[in-house]
């Protein structure tokens, strides 16, 4: 019979949020164990931001997070914001740069961020156990976590196993299942920051544009993003689409402005006056990538010089380019989603400490919670802030 290993805190998940909770609690003198089934800590950090980890965003604000309670993230973000993670990054001598839209990336490999978290955990005496399969969690007098390497016990348990995105990297719904087991609510989970698929038969869809990218405004309802969009073999991707995907629900339309920042109809009429002898596709290639210009001209303009085209035809195309609305068939699912929307219901957690309101000692942090950031470093910022809030409270 193996004896249980006793700690002050058990953290499930050695990702961004779990390691932050562990280091904060460890550095306050708590005896912390982190358990993870993966063979390596922080695997999502390693692949994030194209290998350079977009570790925060200077424009962090609760408005850039989706949640059943839009105010929930405020408290943790106010107490551990972009400046705090940046201070840690700088303390560890990690070179960084601002790319665009407030996004901060490492100059070098994301591995430096994982090394930083592990060094901080080490400074707090945190015991990180990898390749541990969690088989059971029991509450009562504290928490007992059974694994294939023995049982761990502690009066505090932090759920930090993340969301459901990229199951092939080891994502599971463990935190959601444990939360439910202890009576917490879990809001419906959906892929977010995910490419959208378009059925080839969708009215107005233009097939065979895979690889074409351009700056657009993508809108879903009243939420709009101006960023790059990419046509794929299955539909649409690129930052603008990933951003709106988090707001999209099945059956809703998304609308694209392919000529953002200008009145497309007016621009086409002006182009006609300036170069009346050119063909429609040549005129459009002044505004759109060539393959898209060609496709749009083929579908929406008659042959011949633009000078012969009535303004009404150009107005119609201009309206179409300024407001191209499509109903996506779906998303590329959790296999391709950067994050999970939904999760442990914020109504059941303290926004100050991340502790479950009805289960003393049970905490939930990071992506497992129903707080989803925009693309651009916001999800890590939430992982740091929520992890830190829990680690400071335990
Ligand atoms: P995270 O998923 O990081 O960690 C969870 C841990 O729990 C993992 O170590 C996992 O192995 C473990 N685990 C899961 N199930 C378990 C089980 N059953 N038993 C034991 N352990 C278990 N965000 C951002 O802000 N900037 C960026 O640049 C990017 N880039 C990016 C790229 C890609 C390709 C993806 C998929 C995601 C991003 N993200 C991102 C999102 C970001 O990676 C994500 O929001 C955070 O990693 C969430 O941190 P958590 O610690 O909550 O979960």
The candidate with the shortest Cα–Cα distance to 218, out of 245, 195, 194, 197, is 245
d(Cα 70, Cα 392) in Å, to the nearest integer?
23
Dist. CA 16 → ligand 1 center (Å): 7
The residue whose CA is least distant from atom 25 of ligand 1 is 377
86 in Cβ contact with 104 (< 8 Å):
yes
d(Cα 365, Cα 29) in Å, to the nearest integer?
20
Ligand 1 proximity of 380 Cβ (cutoff 6 Å)? yes
Read off the tokens for 195. Answer: 């490419």
User: Which pLDDT value is given to residue 369?
Assistant: 98
User: Which pLDDT value is given to residue 1?
Assistant: 46
Ligand 1 proximity of 44 Cβ (cutoff 6 Å)? yes
Ligand 1 proximity of 172 Cβ (cutoff 6 Å)? yes
Contacts 24+ apart (CB under 8 A), 83-88: 84/384, 84/388, 85/55, 85/56, 85/380, 85/381, 85/384, 86/56, 88/116, 88/120
Ligand 1 proximity of 161 Cβ (cutoff 6 Å)? yes
Dist. CA 44 → ligand 1 center (Å): 5
Dist. CA 319 → ligand 1 center (Å): 41
Ligand 1 proximity of 391 Cβ (cutoff 6 Å)? no
Rounded to two decimals, what is the model's pTM?
A: 0.97
The residue whose CA is least distant from atom 45 of ligand 1 is 379
Ligand 1 proximity of 54 Cβ (cutoff 6 Å)? yes
**What is the interface pTM, i.e. ipTM, of the complex?**
0.99
Choose one of 21, 48, 130, 237 to mutate for the ligand 1 pocket test, by most ligand atoms within 8 angstroms of C-beta: 48
Residues of the chain with pLDDT under 70: 1-3
7 in Cβ contact with 31 (< 8 Å):
yes
User: Which pLDDT value is given to residue 204?
Assistant: 84
Nearest ligand 1 atom to alpha carbon 381: 25
Choose one of 44, 169, 333 to mutate for the ligand 1 pocket test, by most ligand atoms within 8 angstroms of C-beta: 44
Ligand 1 proximity of 354 Cβ (cutoff 6 Å)? no
Choose one of 10, 12, 15 to mutate for the ligand 1 pocket test, by most ligand atoms within 8 angstroms of C-beta: 15
Nearest ligand 1 atom to alpha carbon 13: 7
Ligand 1 proximity of 331 Cβ (cutoff 6 Å)? no
Dist. CA 358 → ligand 1 center (Å): 26
User: Which pLDDT value is given to residue 2?
Assistant: 57
CA 346 remoteness from chain centre? 18
Ligand 1 proximity of 367 Cβ (cutoff 6 Å)? yes
Ligand 1 proximity of 15 Cβ (cutoff 6 Å)? yes
Nearest ligand 1 atom to alpha carbon 44: 43
């Amino acid at each position: 019979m193996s004896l249980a290993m006793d700690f002050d805190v058990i953290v499930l998940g050695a990702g961004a949020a779990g390691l932050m909770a562990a280091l904060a609690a460890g550095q306050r003198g708590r005896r912390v164990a982190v358990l993870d089934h993966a063979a390596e800590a922080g695997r999502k950090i390693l692949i994030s931001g194209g290998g350079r980890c977009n570790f925060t965003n200077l424009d962090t604000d609760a408005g850039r997070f989706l949640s059943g309670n839009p105010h929930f993230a405020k408290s943790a973000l106010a107490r551990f914001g972009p400046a705090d993670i940046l201070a840690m990054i700088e303390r560890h001598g990690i070179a960084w740069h601002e790319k665009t839209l407030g996004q901060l990336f490492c100059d070098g490999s994301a591995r430096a961020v994982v090394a930083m978290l592990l060094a901080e955990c080490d400074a707090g005496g945190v015991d990180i156990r990898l390749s541990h399969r969690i088989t059971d969690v029991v509450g009562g007098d504290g928490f007992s976590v059974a694994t294939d390497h023995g049982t761990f016990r502690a009066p505090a348990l932090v759920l930090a196993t993340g969301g459901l995105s990229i199951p092939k990297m080891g994502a599971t719904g463990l935190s959601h299942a444990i939360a439910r087991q202890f009576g917490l609510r879990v809001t419906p989970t959906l892929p977010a920051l995910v490419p959208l698929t378009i059925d080839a038969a969708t009215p107005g869809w233009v097939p065979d544009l895979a690889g074409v990218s351009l700056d657009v405004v993508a809108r879903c309802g009243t939420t709009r993003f101006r960023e790059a969009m990419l046509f794929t073999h299955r539909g649409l991707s690129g930052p603008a689409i990933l951003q709106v995907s988090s707001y999209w629900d099945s059956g809703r339309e998304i609308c694209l402005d392919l000529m953002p920042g200008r009145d497309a109809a007016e621009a086409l009429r002006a182009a006609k006056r300036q170069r009346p002898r050119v063909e429609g596709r040549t005129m459009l290639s002044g505004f759109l990538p060539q393959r898209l210009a060609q496709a749009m001209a083929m579908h929406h303009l008659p042959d011949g010089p633009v000078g012969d085209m009535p303004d009404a035809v150009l107005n119609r195309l201009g309206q179409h380019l300024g407001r191209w609305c499509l109903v996506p068939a779906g998303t590329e699912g959790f296999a391709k989603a950067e994050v999970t929307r939904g999760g442990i219901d914020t109504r059941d957690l303290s926004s100050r400490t991340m502790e479950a309101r009805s289960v003393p000692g049970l905490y939930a942090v990071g992506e497992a919670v129903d707080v989803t950031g925009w693309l651009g470093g916001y999800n890590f910022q939430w992982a740091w802030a929520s992890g830190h809030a829990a680690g400071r409270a335990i």
